[in-house]
Structure formats: structure tokens, C-alpha cells
Amino acid sequence: MVELCLNSRYLLGYLVKEKLALPQPPIIWAFLFFSWKPVAEYIDQQFEQYFRDESGLNRKNIQDNRVHCCLYFISPFGHGLRPLDVEFMKALHQRVNIVPILAKADTLTPPEVDCKKRKIREEIEHFGIKIYQFPDCDSDEDEDFKLQDQALKESIPFAVIGSNTVVEARGRRVRGRLYPWGIVEVENPGHCDFVKLRTMLVRTHMQDLKDVTRETHYENYRAQCIQSMTRLVVKERNRKPNLTN
């Protein structure tokens, strides 16, 4: 399941409507909270459900509702990250794969987008936020693939634009925004990173996102659960002899 945590209402409509063009649309939740707590609770609930199902007798047909990805939308109007952004991402980065997004990128010219992206990347590093790390390319991959991979890594945070209409542009119908000075095309790679993000999410990196969730985030949750349960059992055991004495 791909989970969307939106802090920008601009893309909400578009993403929900489009369901990110996934072949089998995942359940999409849009969070417009000003606190990370409900989001963290939701992620934990899914882990808990999976943990219960996995510990039960019938382990064959478990429905996996664990959150494999959280798209975190950063406002293009600030000077980098706001304190809320830092708090939000730091509270979630041990629980879920965070992919940062630069929202409403049609307010910024290309040099401004580059500058803002650099600033956000620097701040992510400065504040020790662990966003989703794209896996390194195999050394035997061809050059084209390596370049593509490099470009993808350098696109972070992905600059996206939400459409509000379908318009005719260059002889075909495109999703976009119609300004007096031109048509913003959401799916034009020269206008924003929407296509890159979609390709990453549904084609090239979906499996890796699931793997990292399973091997890292869920294992962390499971280890904590087992630890608390063990502690509880030991406590219970220590109590019992006292009661029988």
C-alpha cells in the first residue's frame, strides 16, 4: 500500500482522483493534520494488525496494510523547512519511508526550484532526518540506467504541480493549469517531476519501498513489541511466586 501524507491541499484533489495512476490503485489517505501524532498512530496500527495476523494460526492470507511510503509535501513559500516539517519527519522517519515533495512548484521558476531543493536537502541533512534512501545502482548496470538513477536521486525533493483542468496543448489533451501566460502540464517532465515520482513509486522502486518497510521499519516495530511482551511475561512470572508464597 502506498500511503500519502499530504500537508498541502493543492495536490490533494489531483492525487486522490488520479490514484497516482497505479494499475491496482492502492488505498490513498490524505492527512491534513498539523501534528504528526495521528499519522504515527495510523502507521503503528497497521503494524500492530500485521503483527497480530502474523502471530496467529492462519498466516497464509494476511492482508498487508502496512504503510510503505509517506509522501511529505513541503510548502514552496517558506525558506526551506518549517519547524513543523522537521518535527513531523523526525517523528516518522523510523516508522516509514519518507519521500519529500516540493508542493505547488508552479510558483517557482526553474532556478528558484533548484535553489529551494538544494536548501531543503541541506536542511534534511542538517537536522538528521532520515528520508527514504534510493538503493545504489549495481556496478554492472548500463550507463543510461546509471544516469537515470543519478537524475532521480538529484530530483529530491520532487517538485510537483497539481492540475485543476484538462486542456488541449500541442494537439493532445493534457492535465494541467491554464494561466494567461501558458499551460502548465503536470505530466511534462520539463514542467515538474510528477512523472519521475510516479515512475519511481509504481515501477522502479515499489518493491524496494516494500522491502525496506518489511526489513527495517516493521522489524523495528516487531522487536519493540517482543521486547515489551517479554518484559511483561517476566514481570508476571516474578509476581506469581510471591502470590503463592
Q: Does residue number 183 form part of the binding site for a copy of itself (CB under 8 A)?
A: yes
Stretch binding a copy of itself (CB under 8 A), from 41-49, 101-109, 146-154, 232-240: 101-109
177 near a copy of itself (CB under 8 A): yes
CB of 183 to a copy of itself, least distance (A): 6
In DSSP terms, 74 is beta-bridged to 102
- 32, 178, 223, 226: which one binds a copy of itself (CB under 8 A): 178
Comparing CB distances to a copy of itself, the nearer of 30 and 159 is 159
Sequence-ordered list of residues with C-beta below 8 angstroms from that of 197, at least 6 positions apart, any chain:
71, 99, 101, 158, 160
Which helix (H) or strand (E) covers residue 170, if one does?
A: none
Taking CB under 8 A as the criterion, the residue among 13, 25, 38, 182 binding a copy of itself is 182
Exposure string over 219-237, b if 16+ CB within 10 A, otherwise e: eebeeeeeeeeeeeeeeee
Counting contacts by CB under 8 A, is residue 109 touching a copy of itself? yes
Helix axis angle, 218-244 to 37-55, nearest 10°: 70
All cell numbers assigned to 43: 502507521
Residue 181 engages a copy of itself in binding (rule: CB under 8 A): yes
> Total number of residues binding a copy of itself (CB under 8 A)?
19
12 lies in the binding site for a copy of itself (CB under 8 A): no
Q: Which residues contact residue 44 at a Cβ distance below 8 angstroms, ignoring those fewer than 6 apart?
A: 95, 221
98-102 and 172-179 beta bridge pairing: unpaired
Residues 6+ apart with CB under 8 A from 111: none
Question: Listing from the earlier edge strand, what are the strands of the sheet with 172-179?
Answer: 165-169, 172-179, 182-185
Interface with a copy of itself, residue 96, by CB under 8 A: no
The answer to the question of residue 225 lying near a copy of itself (CB under 8 A) is no
Q: Does 151 bind a copy of itself (CB under 8 A)?
A: no
Q: For the window 152-171, what string marks contact with a copy of itself as x by the rule CB under 8 A?
A: ------------x-------
Longest dimension (CA), the chain: 87
**50-89: which residues touch a copy of itself (CB under 8 A)?**
77
Segment interacting with a copy of itself (CB under 8 A) among 26-34, 106-114, 138-146, 201-209 = 106-114
Q: Which residues bind a copy of itself (CB under 8 A)?
A: 77, 104, 106-107, 109-110, 164, 177-185, 188, 190-191
